[in-house]
Amino acid sequence: SAVISQKPSRDICQRGTSLTIQCQVDSQVTMMFWYRQQPGQSLTLIATANQGSEATYESGFVIDKFPISRPNLTFSTLTVSNMSPEDSSIYLCSVGGGAEQFFGPGTRLTVL
Amino acid sequence: AQSVTQLDSQVPVFEEAPVELRCNYSSSVSVYLFWYVQYPNQGLQLLLKYLSGSTLVKGINGFEAEFNKSQTSFHLRKPSVHISDTAEYFCAVSILSGGGADGLTFGKGTHLIIQP
Protein backbone atom coordinates (compact mmCIF):
# COMPACT_ATOMS: atom_id res chain seq x y z
CA SER A 1 0.00 0.00 0.00
CA ALA A 2 0.98 3.65 -0.28
CA VAL A 3 0.92 6.35 2.38
CA ILE A 4 -0.45 9.61 1.04
CA SER A 5 -0.40 13.00 2.70
CA GLN A 6 -2.16 16.18 1.63
CA LYS A 7 -1.62 19.81 2.54
CA PRO A 8 -3.49 21.74 3.71
CA SER A 9 -5.94 19.49 5.51
CA ARG A 10 -8.51 22.26 5.41
CA ASP A 11 -8.80 25.89 4.42
CA ILE A 12 -11.31 28.69 4.25
CA CYS A 13 -10.85 30.98 1.27
CA GLN A 14 -12.44 34.06 -0.21
CA ARG A 15 -14.16 33.92 -3.57
CA GLY A 16 -12.00 34.93 -6.49
CA THR A 17 -8.81 33.61 -4.94
CA SER A 18 -6.88 30.42 -5.73
CA LEU A 19 -5.68 27.56 -3.55
CA THR A 20 -3.01 25.01 -4.32
CA ILE A 21 -3.33 21.58 -2.72
CA GLN A 22 -0.30 19.38 -2.38
CA CYS A 23 -0.21 15.58 -2.50
CA GLN A 24 2.85 13.63 -1.36
CA VAL A 25 3.27 9.85 -1.65
CA ASP A 26 5.81 7.75 0.24
CA SER A 27 6.77 5.74 -2.85
CA GLN A 28 7.15 6.33 -6.55
CA VAL A 29 3.91 5.93 -8.46
CA THR A 30 3.06 6.24 -12.10
CA MET A 31 -0.50 7.50 -11.91
CA MET A 32 -2.02 10.01 -9.56
CA PHE A 33 -5.64 11.03 -9.54
CA TRP A 34 -7.56 13.99 -8.17
CA TYR A 35 -11.17 13.66 -7.01
CA ARG A 36 -13.76 16.08 -5.70
CA GLN A 37 -16.42 15.27 -3.12
CA GLN A 38 -19.02 18.00 -2.87
CA PRO A 39 -21.01 18.25 0.37
CA GLY A 40 -23.21 15.20 0.84
CA GLN A 41 -22.21 13.84 -2.55
CA SER A 42 -20.12 11.06 -3.97
CA LEU A 43 -16.63 11.35 -5.38
CA THR A 44 -16.04 12.58 -8.91
CA LEU A 45 -12.78 12.15 -10.79
CA ILE A 46 -11.33 15.51 -11.82
CA ALA A 47 -8.22 14.43 -13.68
CA THR A 48 -5.45 11.90 -14.04
CA ALA A 49 -1.86 13.07 -13.67
CA ASN A 50 0.97 11.13 -15.23
CA GLN A 51 4.52 12.28 -14.53
CA GLY A 52 6.07 14.07 -17.47
CA SER A 53 2.89 14.69 -19.41
CA GLU A 54 -0.18 16.90 -19.35
CA ALA A 55 -2.96 15.89 -17.02
CA THR A 56 -6.05 14.31 -18.56
CA TYR A 57 -9.29 15.98 -17.46
CA GLU A 58 -12.70 14.39 -17.14
CA SER A 59 -15.77 15.87 -18.75
CA GLY A 60 -16.85 19.01 -16.93
CA PHE A 61 -13.38 19.88 -15.62
CA VAL A 62 -10.93 22.19 -17.42
CA ILE A 63 -7.28 22.99 -16.99
CA ASP A 64 -7.84 26.71 -16.54
CA LYS A 65 -9.97 26.05 -13.47
CA PHE A 66 -8.02 23.09 -12.05
CA PRO A 67 -4.39 23.26 -13.20
CA ILE A 68 -2.36 20.25 -12.11
CA SER A 69 1.36 19.79 -11.80
CA ARG A 70 3.23 16.47 -11.58
CA PRO A 71 6.93 17.32 -11.30
CA ASN A 72 8.09 13.88 -10.11
CA LEU A 73 6.90 10.39 -9.23
CA THR A 74 5.98 11.18 -5.61
CA PHE A 75 4.34 14.60 -5.76
CA SER A 76 1.46 16.45 -7.41
CA THR A 77 -0.46 19.67 -6.91
CA LEU A 78 -3.99 20.67 -7.76
CA THR A 79 -4.90 24.35 -7.92
CA VAL A 80 -8.49 25.49 -7.59
CA SER A 81 -8.56 28.82 -9.43
CA ASN A 82 -10.86 31.82 -9.17
CA MET A 83 -12.87 30.08 -6.48
CA SER A 84 -16.59 30.42 -5.90
CA PRO A 85 -18.75 28.95 -3.12
CA GLU A 86 -19.64 26.09 -5.51
CA ASP A 87 -16.02 24.94 -5.21
CA SER A 88 -16.51 24.15 -1.53
CA SER A 89 -15.68 20.44 -1.42
CA ILE A 90 -13.27 17.86 -0.18
CA TYR A 91 -10.47 17.33 -2.68
CA LEU A 92 -8.78 13.94 -2.56
CA CYS A 93 -5.58 12.70 -4.09
CA SER A 94 -5.36 9.05 -5.07
CA VAL A 95 -2.62 6.82 -6.42
CA GLY A 96 -2.59 3.52 -8.21
CA GLY A 97 -5.11 2.88 -10.89
CA GLY A 98 -6.90 -0.23 -12.04
CA ALA A 99 -6.81 -2.85 -9.31
CA GLU A 100 -5.09 -0.80 -6.63
CA GLN A 101 -6.37 2.58 -5.50
CA PHE A 102 -5.25 4.36 -2.36
CA PHE A 103 -6.62 7.66 -1.14
CA GLY A 104 -5.17 10.54 0.77
CA PRO A 105 -6.99 12.06 3.75
CA GLY A 106 -8.44 14.89 1.67
CA THR A 107 -8.41 18.67 1.80
CA ARG A 108 -11.62 20.26 3.03
CA LEU A 109 -12.11 23.57 1.22
CA THR A 110 -14.70 26.15 2.16
CA VAL A 111 -15.16 29.18 -0.10
CA LEU A 112 -16.95 32.20 1.33
CA ALA B 1 -18.37 4.73 -20.16
CA GLN B 2 -19.14 2.92 -16.96
CA SER B 3 -21.66 3.83 -14.28
CA VAL B 4 -22.52 2.70 -10.76
CA THR B 5 -25.95 2.71 -9.17
CA GLN B 6 -26.53 2.47 -5.45
CA LEU B 7 -30.27 2.30 -5.20
CA ASP B 8 -30.54 3.03 -1.50
CA SER B 9 -29.35 6.43 -0.35
CA GLN B 10 -30.02 5.50 3.26
CA VAL B 11 -30.42 2.16 5.05
CA PRO B 12 -31.53 2.03 8.70
CA VAL B 13 -30.81 -1.25 10.47
CA PHE B 14 -31.07 -2.38 14.07
CA GLU B 15 -27.89 -3.34 15.85
CA GLU B 16 -26.93 -7.01 15.45
CA ALA B 17 -29.26 -7.39 12.46
CA PRO B 18 -27.96 -8.38 9.01
CA VAL B 19 -27.60 -5.79 6.27
CA GLU B 20 -27.24 -5.74 2.50
CA LEU B 21 -26.19 -2.65 0.57
CA ARG B 22 -26.98 -2.88 -3.10
CA CYS B 23 -24.72 -1.93 -5.98
CA ASN B 24 -25.28 -2.36 -9.69
CA TYR B 25 -22.91 -1.31 -12.42
CA SER B 26 -22.92 -0.79 -16.14
CA SER B 27 -19.90 -1.18 -18.38
CA SER B 28 -19.17 -2.33 -21.91
CA VAL B 29 -15.86 -3.83 -20.75
CA SER B 30 -14.72 -5.91 -17.81
CA VAL B 31 -14.29 -4.07 -14.53
CA TYR B 32 -12.72 -4.24 -11.13
CA LEU B 33 -15.22 -3.65 -8.31
CA PHE B 34 -14.66 -1.97 -4.96
CA TRP B 35 -16.47 -1.05 -1.78
CA TYR B 36 -15.15 1.85 0.28
CA VAL B 37 -16.31 3.13 3.66
CA GLN B 38 -16.16 6.70 4.87
CA TYR B 39 -16.67 7.27 8.58
CA PRO B 40 -17.86 10.72 9.68
CA ASN B 41 -15.20 13.34 8.99
CA GLN B 42 -12.68 10.74 7.90
CA GLY B 43 -11.08 9.64 4.65
CA LEU B 44 -11.94 6.71 2.41
CA GLN B 45 -11.04 3.22 3.54
CA LEU B 46 -11.09 0.18 1.28
CA LEU B 47 -13.46 -2.51 2.56
CA LEU B 48 -12.94 -5.07 -0.17
CA LYS B 49 -12.44 -5.51 -3.88
CA TYR B 50 -13.18 -7.99 -6.64
CA LEU B 51 -10.57 -8.45 -9.31
CA SER B 52 -11.14 -12.01 -10.53
CA GLY B 53 -11.63 -15.56 -9.28
CA SER B 54 -14.09 -16.45 -6.55
CA THR B 55 -17.20 -14.32 -6.76
CA LEU B 56 -17.53 -14.12 -2.98
CA VAL B 57 -15.08 -11.62 -1.58
CA LYS B 58 -14.37 -11.15 2.10
CA GLY B 59 -13.21 -7.82 3.43
CA ILE B 60 -12.40 -6.07 6.66
CA ASN B 61 -14.73 -5.63 9.64
CA GLY B 62 -16.79 -8.74 8.78
CA PHE B 63 -18.08 -7.44 5.45
CA GLU B 64 -18.35 -9.53 2.32
CA ALA B 65 -19.62 -8.95 -1.20
CA GLU B 66 -20.71 -11.17 -4.04
CA PHE B 67 -20.03 -10.43 -7.68
CA ASN B 68 -22.85 -11.46 -9.99
CA LYS B 69 -21.87 -10.96 -13.60
CA SER B 70 -25.25 -11.83 -15.09
CA GLN B 71 -26.99 -9.28 -12.89
CA THR B 72 -24.06 -6.83 -13.01
CA SER B 73 -24.26 -6.52 -9.25
CA PHE B 74 -21.82 -6.35 -6.36
CA HIS B 75 -23.91 -6.24 -3.20
CA LEU B 76 -22.25 -5.75 0.18
CA ARG B 77 -23.39 -7.77 3.17
CA LYS B 78 -22.71 -8.15 6.85
CA PRO B 79 -24.45 -10.78 9.00
CA SER B 80 -24.55 -8.70 12.18
CA VAL B 81 -23.94 -4.96 12.30
CA HIS B 82 -22.58 -2.85 15.11
CA ILE B 83 -23.08 0.77 16.05
CA SER B 84 -19.56 1.46 14.81
CA ASP B 85 -20.60 0.47 11.27
CA THR B 86 -22.54 3.71 10.94
CA ALA B 87 -20.90 5.36 7.94
CA GLU B 88 -21.23 6.17 4.26
CA TYR B 89 -20.52 3.26 1.92
CA PHE B 90 -19.44 3.76 -1.67
CA CYS B 91 -19.40 1.21 -4.46
CA ALA B 92 -16.92 1.92 -7.26
CA VAL B 93 -15.65 0.43 -10.50
CA SER B 94 -12.49 0.70 -12.51
CA ILE B 95 -12.23 -0.65 -16.00
CA LEU B 96 -9.86 -3.47 -16.79
CA SER B 97 -7.31 -2.00 -19.13
CA GLY B 98 -3.83 -3.09 -20.09
CA GLY B 99 -2.34 0.18 -18.95
CA GLY B 100 -3.83 -0.08 -15.48
CA ALA B 101 -4.14 3.66 -15.45
CA ASP B 102 -7.81 4.21 -14.79
CA GLY B 103 -9.48 6.11 -12.03
CA LEU B 104 -12.63 5.06 -10.23
CA THR B 105 -16.25 5.71 -11.00
CA PHE B 106 -18.23 5.94 -7.79
CA GLY B 107 -21.85 5.38 -6.92
CA LYS B 108 -23.70 8.06 -4.98
CA GLY B 109 -23.19 6.28 -1.70
CA THR B 110 -25.41 4.60 0.89
CA HIS B 111 -25.66 5.97 4.38
CA LEU B 112 -25.86 3.05 6.80
CA ILE B 113 -27.61 4.01 10.03
CA ILE B 114 -27.40 1.56 12.91
CA GLN B 115 -30.19 1.89 15.44
CA PRO B 116 -29.73 0.58 18.98
Question: For B60, which DSSP code?
Answer: G
pLDDT tens-digit map of A18-37: 999 999 999 999 889 999 99
Q: What is the pLDDT of residue B109?
A: 95
Give the 3-state secondary structure of residue B83: helix
Instruction: Report the distance separating Cα B77 and Cα B64, nearest Å.
Output: 5
Query: Is cis: bond before B116, omega within 30 of 0?
Result: no
Task: Tell me the pLDDT tens digit for each residue of A36-92.
Answer: 999 888 899 999 998 878 899 999 999 999 999 999 999 999 999 999 999 999 999
Average pLDDT, chain B: 92
Residues constituting chain A: 112
Query: What residues in A contact B46, CB-CB < 8 Å?
Result: 101-102
Spatial neighbors of B67 by CB under 8 A, at least 6 apart, are B33, B50, B55, B56, B57, B73, B74
**Dist. CA B113–CA A76, nearest whole Å:** 36
Query: What distance in Å separates residue B97's CA from the closest CA in chain A?
Result: 7
CA distance A86 to A77: 20
Side chain identity at B47, as an amino acid letter? L
Residue B97 in this model has a pLDDT that exceeds 90:
no
Q: Does B27 contact A at CB distance below 8 Å?
A: no
Side-by-side strand order, sheet with A68-72 = A4-7, A19-25, A75-80, A68-72
Contact A112/B at CB under 8 A: no
Integer angstrom CA distances of residue A40 from B32, B41, B72: 25, 12, 26
pLDDT of residue B91: 97
CA B36 to chain centre: 6
A92 touches chain B (CB under 8 A): yes
Tens-digit pLDDT profile for residues B7-34 = 999 999 999 999 999 999 999 888 899 9
